[in-house]
Amino acid sequence: MSLQVVTANRLGDGLVVFLTADGGWSENIDDARIAEGKEAADALLAEASAPELDVVIVGPYLIDVEQQDGGLVPTKYREVLRTKGPSVREDLGYQAV
Amino acid sequence: MAIVKNDSVIEQDWITVDAEGDLPSSDENLIVPLARFKEERDTLLGRNGGLGVQLNPGDAPEDLADDLDRLSIITVNFPAYTDGRGYSYGRVLRERMGFKGELRAIGDVLRDQILYMHRCGFDSYDLKVDGETALTKVRAALKEMSVYYQPTGDGRATAQSLRERRRATLG
Amino acid sequence: MYRYDDFDRQLVQERTEQFREQVKRRLAGDITEEQFRPLRLMNGVYLQLHAYMLRVAIPYGTLRADQLRELGGIARKYDKGYGHFTTRQNIQYNWPKLDEIPDALLDLANVEMHAIQTSGNCIRNTTTDQYAGAAADEIEDPRPYCELIRQWSTFHPEFTYLPRKFKIAVTGSPNDRAAVKVHDIGLRMHQNDAGETGFEVIVGGGLGRTPFVGKTIRDFIGKNDLFSYLEAILRVYNRFGRRDNKYKARIKILVHEEGIEKIRDLVEEEWAQIKDGSLRVGDEEIAHYIAQFTPPAFEALSDDDADFEVHKAANRRFFNWVRSNVIAHKQPGYAIANVSLKPIGGIPGDATDTQMELVADLSEKYSFGDVRVTHEQNLVLPHVKKADLFALWTALDAAGLGTANLGYVTDIISCPGLDYCALATARSIPLSQRISERFGDLERQHDIGELKIKISGCINACGHHHVGHIGILGLDKRGKEFYQITLGGDASQDAAIGKIAGAGFSEAEVVDAIESLVTKYIDIRESGERFIDTYRRVGMDPFKEVLYGDR
């Protein structure tokens, strides 16, 4: 069963965030609420797409993730980059912290 | 829904009909799509009520060349604000064809496009909000900028004309 | 250089306030993201992979020292200490916060700059020859006309919601350094039989997923008539350009589908009705703009400078830099100095805040405070005394800006690619870095000679791969990056769209593939041939063979 989480960019600073278990948004993918299966994923995206969140985040969408070493890693390289920062500037983005 | 014209909210006293279907009684003020106007021109011009035409994207305003003085209003439909064809229709109607009647923007008419519409010759705006809100939006939009580079038919002085005037004054 | 007057200043300030209000309305929830998106885009604000991105316009690639210094300051104050110069002679910041962008725009407005129309389906920043006003081969400085185009196109009420974006490029020289044939409209200055200077008008060029070299719609349009003619083209495009499919919405598709003859008829018919109207620009007004770009106060010098020759003879690295990066100036005793933003293994087009400030300082000291940005992502100090070149190079070199590689195989155009861009399908910067390192040896680069490698990280072709002598397009193949090679592209007056060599290469294979192409060229070139010349002589097959063998 594929695992998915919802990601978006935060309205104020544009940084990458993930929908968490308590309905908040975290910069750390490991805090993300995981949906297993299509139904759960649809429900998760529906929650993230609520009109009132339009003033919190921009452009929520689902991404596929895998459990690795106790953490979550996106399956697509594009999304891996979003959890880290530019591969050509390892001093910038979340990877720098 | 509210229509703003000349700094006030005006009544909607026009009935817009589709491409097909019966026409209302002869006394009603009527707006018909261009295609229908072309098909039923003589019938429509023979009615008692006022007549207007709606232009949709892809229509040619030039098709109205012979009948402009018989039309009290032309509405230009912006089905999505991103479809900018109506701006060209406005300028062609006003600046080239000399249309003097009401030129109304309908459809996806949003605050941030109103100034551009005004510059292209529109003088009324059909907004999907209540009257007071519509009036506030139109007023705010029309005074947001005060410098204009392009000469259009709206009569606003361009930066260039003001510069020339100043150079002339300074001798 | 053009200075804003009170009208220009007021317009940009009002725009900044307008955007501040729009941001406020967005953050308060008065307008949705859907409604806000086109508004922010028309102020150069994108949402990219990691954060917002702000694209600032550098009109026709010309900067004053104080403007470049401010660009450095903005990099420090609102970003992470660097900016990226783009193939459209603009600069991009990668990390600004939405609620701080209005302040950044105000700082820009204070140095007569803005981010207006750097995105959106409107007329974008006009680009031109980076050597305008300095080049020895120039007919006339194109920038007065570029400035007039800037004003005509800024907030044009009729052309702000076009079918798609619209790019205009101008060259004042027969040697086209502005790639005018691959723009929506390209303007090439030349003289007609009557000896008047005007423009050849080229339409429908472009890159992206359907590349075309533009076609001539009019051999000659006089300067007074240029603006009404542009308006006629834009009106025809706005009315008749396709809006049903965004990939078929550029004017190149209209020209391709309808044919240049039909488009010409429509434009001429439209133009006939407006040419004597208020867009006709009088000689006096043109003279006013030409006066804004009068050449700086050059000293009367001999073209030979003894010290310069001594330094060249004594310092091999300086000699090398002069050999590749210094170009003839129209004024005796002066030269055009190119500042490479392509250090070996570096990120093409990136400059730090302090590098920008240094170049600003050096331009004041050595180049009349005049700096240019090139579509090949480098900077230029256009008016340097030969006698000052050594001191200039010494200062540049100390700041990592003295790389001697202009036009060489390591002077690579690269879009930001998947490292930053939300649209990208593959990374392009790391590939450019690896190619640069592979060919890092300077004598080898010099031996290879002019070779333009251009890399795009997706089909939208911001890295101009279609017009690279060697073009590289990064794609996504089942979750893996792979790279397609095109050969024979050219952005110059001999513009050509490159042809796809064959199947793509994996990230691991592609640098070897490029090297095999270069080795083949060295093997078969005739005396004086550049890579592109050899390709034109022998065609694709010999190169295909080294890439694929019997495959």
pLDDT in tens, C185-239: 999 999 999 999 999 999 999 999 999 999 999 999 999 999 999 999 999 999 9
Chain C CB contacts of B113 below 8 Å: 161
CATH of C306-398, one of 3.90.480.20, 3.10.20.30, 3.20.20.70, 1.10.150.120: 3.90.480.20
What residue ranges of chain C are covered by domains with CATH 3.30.413.10?
142-289, 413-548
At residue B24, does pLDDT exceed 90?
A: no
CB distance A14–C97 less than 8 Å?
yes
Q: Counting one residue from A and one from C, how many pairs have CB atoms under 8 Å apart? A: 68
Chain A CB contacts of C32 below 8 Å: 54
C291 vs C527: CA distance, rounded Å:
45
C271 vs B76: CA distance, rounded Å:
24
Q: Give all chains having 3 or more CB-to-CB distances under 8 Å with chain A.
A: C
Position C550 confidence tier, pLDDT thresholds 50, 70, 90: low
CB distance B87–C285 less than 8 Å?
no
B54 vs C356: CA distance, rounded Å:
54
The DSSP code for C364 is H
* pLDDT value of position A97: 73
List the single residue in A12, A88, A92 with the smallest CB-CB distance to C430.
A88
Chain C CB contacts of A12 below 8 Å: 27, 97-99
The DSSP code for C88 is T
Question: Is chain A touching chain C, with at least 3 CB–CB pairs below 8 Å?
Answer: yes
Position B55 confidence tier, pLDDT thresholds 50, 70, 90: very high
| Among C60, C107, C93, C63, CA closest to C380 | C63
Position C290 confidence tier, pLDDT thresholds 50, 70, 90: very high
C159 vs B91: CA distance, rounded Å:
11
Task: Name beta bridge partners: C352.
Answer: C82
What residue ranges of chain C are covered by domains with CATH 3.90.480.20?
6-110, 306-398
Fold of the C413-548 domain: Sulfite Reductase Hemoprotein; domain 1 (3.30.413)
C204 vs C211: CA distance, rounded Å:
10
The architecture that CATH gives domain C142-289 is 2-Layer Sandwich (3.30)
CB distance A13–C47 less than 8 Å?
no
Sequence letter at residue A25:
W
Helix (H) or strand (E) holding C299: none
List the single residue in B57, B116, B159 with the smallest CB-CB distance to C157.
B116
| Residues C129 and C142: beta-carbon distance below 8 Å | yes
* C86-100 confidence digits (pLDDT tens): 999 999 999 999 999
Helix (H) or strand (E) holding C546: helix C541-548
First to last CA, chain A: 32
Chain C CB contacts of B96 below 8 Å: 273
All domains of chain B in start order, with CATH: 2-145 (3.20.20.70)
C501 vs C141: CA distance, rounded Å:
39
List the single residue in C38, C158, C162 with the smallest CB-CB distance to B120.
C158
* pLDDT value of position C328: 96
Mean pLDDT of B53-58: 98
Position B13 confidence tier, pLDDT thresholds 50, 70, 90: confident
| Among C421, C343, C424, CA closest to C351 | C343
* C478-509 confidence digits (pLDDT tens): 889 999 999 999 999 999 999 999 999 999 99
Q: Helix, strand, or coil here: C103? A: helix
Q: How confident is the prediction for chain C on average, in pLDDT?
A: 97
B152: left (phi over 0), alpha (psi -120 to 50) or beta: beta
Q: How far is B97 from chain C (nearest CA, A)?
A: 11
Q: Which of residues 46-75 of A touch C (CB under 8 A)?
A: 54-55, 58-59, 75
Of the residues C50, C79, C82, the best mutation for testing chain A's interface (the one with the most A CB atoms within 10 Å of its CB) is C50
| Residues C38 and A1: beta-carbon distance below 8 Å | no
Task: Name beta bridge partners: C221.
Answer: C199
B35 vs C208: CA distance, rounded Å:
37
Position B168 confidence tier, pLDDT thresholds 50, 70, 90: confident
Mean pLDDT of C533-537: 98
* pLDDT value of position C192: 95
CB distance C11–B147 less than 8 Å?
yes
At residue C317, does pLDDT exceed 70?
A: yes
List the single residue in A14, A75, A92 with the smallest CB-CB distance to C47.
A14
Chain B CB contacts of C254 below 8 Å: none
* pLDDT value of position C136: 92
Residue with tokens 């100090």: C381
Q: How far is A75 from chain C (nearest CA, A)?
A: 8
| Residues B63 and B69: beta-carbon distance below 8 Å | no
Residue C72 neighbours by CB under 8 Å, 6+ apart = C83, C352, C353, C354, C355, C356, C357, C360
* pLDDT value of position B6: 94
Of the residues A2, A13, A53, A83, the best mutation for testing chain C's interface (the one with the most C CB atoms within 10 Å of its CB) is A13
Annotate B26-66 with three-state secondary structure. CCCCEEEEHHHHHHCHHHHHCCCCCEEEEECCCCCHHHHCC
Helix (H) or strand (E) holding C72: helix C65-78
Using the CB atoms, write b or e for A72-97: b if 16+ within 10 Å. Answer: bebeebbbebbbbbbbbbeebbeeee
ipTM reported for the complex, 2 dp: 0.97
The DSSP code for C225 is G
Q: Helix, strand, or coil here: C165? A: coil
| Residues B40 and B18: beta-carbon distance below 8 Å | no
* pLDDT value of position C551: 63
Q: How far is CA A85 from CA A28, A56, A69, C94, C349, in A?
A: 12, 21, 20, 11, 19
C101 contact A CB<8A: no
| Residues C187 and C170: beta-carbon distance below 8 Å | yes
List the single residue in C7, C18, C162 with the smallest CB-CB distance to B84.
C162
For C400, phi and psi rounded to 5 degrees?
75, 20
C99 contact A CB<8A: yes
* pLDDT value of position B171: 65
Handedness of CA B36, B40, B42, B45 (dihedral sign): negative
Q: Which of residues 37-56 of C touch A (CB under 8 A)?
A: 47-52
Q: Helix, strand, or coil here: C521? A: helix
Q: Helix, strand, or coil here: C91? A: strand
Handedness of CA C403, C404, C410, C413 (dihedral sign): positive
| Among C402, C425, C438, CA closest to C518 | C438
* C390-402 confidence digits (pLDDT tens): 999 999 999 999 9
CB distance A11–C98 less than 8 Å?
yes
A87 contact C CB<8A: yes
Q: Which two tokens stand for residue C519?
A: 């080795």
Q: Which two tokens stand for residue C166?
A: 């619209």
Q: Counting one residue from B and one from C, how many pairs have CB atoms under 8 Å apart? A: 87
Helices (H) and strands (E) in chain C, counts: 18, 21
Q: Which of residues 398-437 of C touch A (CB under 8 A)?
A: 418-420, 424, 427, 429-430, 433
Q: Hey, which bits of C79-122 come out as E strands?
A: 82-85, 91-93
* C126-170 confidence digits (pLDDT tens): 999 999 999 999 999 999 999 999 999 999 999 999 999 999 999
Fold of the C6-110 domain: Sulfite Reductase Hemoprotein; domain 2 (3.90.480)
Task: Name beta bridge partners: C93.
Answer: C54
Q: How far is CA A26 from CA A14, A31, A51, C4, in A?
A: 13, 6, 19, 45
Strands C185-191 and C168-171: parallel
* pLDDT value of position B23: 85
C425 vs C148: CA distance, rounded Å:
37
C172 vs C137: CA distance, rounded Å:
9
* C230-257 confidence digits (pLDDT tens): 999 999 999 999 999 999 999 999 999 9
Mean pLDDT of B87-116: 96
CB distance C238–B84 less than 8 Å?
yes
Q: Which two tokens stand for residue B106?
A: 């309908």
Q: What are the pLDDT tens digits along chain A (97 aa)?
A: 689 999 999 999 999 999 999 999 999 999 999 999 999 999 999 999 999 999 999 999 999 999 999 899 999 999 999 999 999 999 999 999 7
List the single residue in A14, A55, A92 with the smallest CB-CB distance to C52.
A14
Question: Is chain A touching chain B, with at least 3 CB–CB pairs below 8 Å?
Answer: no
Greatest distance between any 2 Cα atoms in chain A: 39
C224 vs C540: CA distance, rounded Å:
45
Q: Which two tokens stand for residue C361?
A: 């300082």
Q: Which two tokens stand for residue C348?
A: 């093409």
